[in-house]
Chains A and B, each alone.
Chain A
Amino acid sequence: MIYLTRRVEFSASHYYHNPEFSAEENRRIFGKCNNPHGHGHNYILEVTVKGEIDSRSGFVIDLKQLKEIMNREVVDALDHRHLNKEVPEFARQIPTSERRNCIAYAYTRRPICSWIFTEKHESAFDAAV
């Protein structure tokens, strides 16, 4: 069993707002993240896959394939976007780091051990696993 971790970086804006809450509740729960004009982060995404080393190629996974999937499914979909307004998955869900908008498992056929999103500056220590 060996583990491979790949990092990518993207930047996006978002705000936290639950339409089921009152304006006061939203402000109390989400604080400045509830600013209606949004705010942004640079995000780092780490994806870890695990598996046995293929004896012929010496790879646990084709890294080119994993890069393509992460670029297509994450970077192209999210980079320089407003997560609430432009990303369909977040139209009805609050785009917290805990929400994992990732489908690489089906493509890679390797168990995905972890998706770690880090908001790079404001909360570098609040990675959601």
Chain B
Amino acid sequence: MKAHLTRRYRFSASHRLHNQSMSPEENLATYGKCNNPYGHGHNYIVEVTVSGHVDSSTGMVCNLVDLDGFVKEQIVDRYDHTNLNMMDEFQKLVPTTENLCVEIFDRLQKSFRPAKVERVRIEETMMNSFEYAGGRELAH
């Protein structure tokens, strides 16, 4: 029997949306107040969904301790209380939440082995959220 498991995590970080190949005017027109030179921050909520067969002896898709430990080490500790623009992965990529969502999904999918990483959903604010499933279509 296959089942899905979703776990929520949170971290806080700052970012500035700015593309060096655009003029100051184009940056302002594209990103508005998100282009503020000193940046701004969010409390990001990250939902990670994994899937797998329910183990007949444990009754679990994967051990939450393993998932929590992995996400903490790979994602939360990496990004919490940082400036995203300073990270290696955002030197050539604007740290929009779209790009952050893809980055987190790829990072988890690449190395998490106990279950299949299906989807990453990020709430940037109470009003906006982003979802990525490795490019797959999601049921909405």
Contact = CB atoms under 8 A, between A and B. Distances in A.
Interface of A: 1-8, 48, 50, 53, 56-60, 62-64, 113-114, 129
B140 interface: yes
B96 A58 contact: yes
B102 A2 contact: yes
Q: Classify the secondary structure of B's interface with A.
A: loop
Contacts of A8: 127
Interface string B97-140: 01101100000000000000000000000111111110111101
B6 interface: no
B54 interface: no
B140 A53 contact: no
Nearest to B129: A5
Contacts of A6: 127-128
Nearest to A114: B140
Contact of B140 (A3, A56, A59, A64): A3
- Interface centre among B94, B98, B102, B128, by most A CB within 10 Å? B98
Contacts of B127: 6-8
A113 B140 contact: yes
Nearest to B30: A57
A51 to B, nearest CB: 10
A3 B130 contact: yes
Given A4-B128, A58-B93, A58-B95, 17 more contacts: A1-B132, A1-B136, A3-B131, A3-B138, A4-B98, A5-B129, A5-B130, A5-B131, A7-B127, A50-B137, A56-B22, A57-B31, A57-B96, A60-B130, A113-B138, A114-B140, A129-B140
B4 to A, nearest CB: 17
B62 to A, nearest CB: 24
A118 B96 CA distance: 28
Given A57-B94, A58-B17, A1 B135 contact: yes
B71 to A, nearest CB: 20
Contacts of B95: 58
A60 B131 CA distance: 11
A58 to B, nearest CB: 4
B98 A59 contact: yes
Contacts of B131: 2-3, 5
Nearest to A44: B127
B137 A1 contact: yes
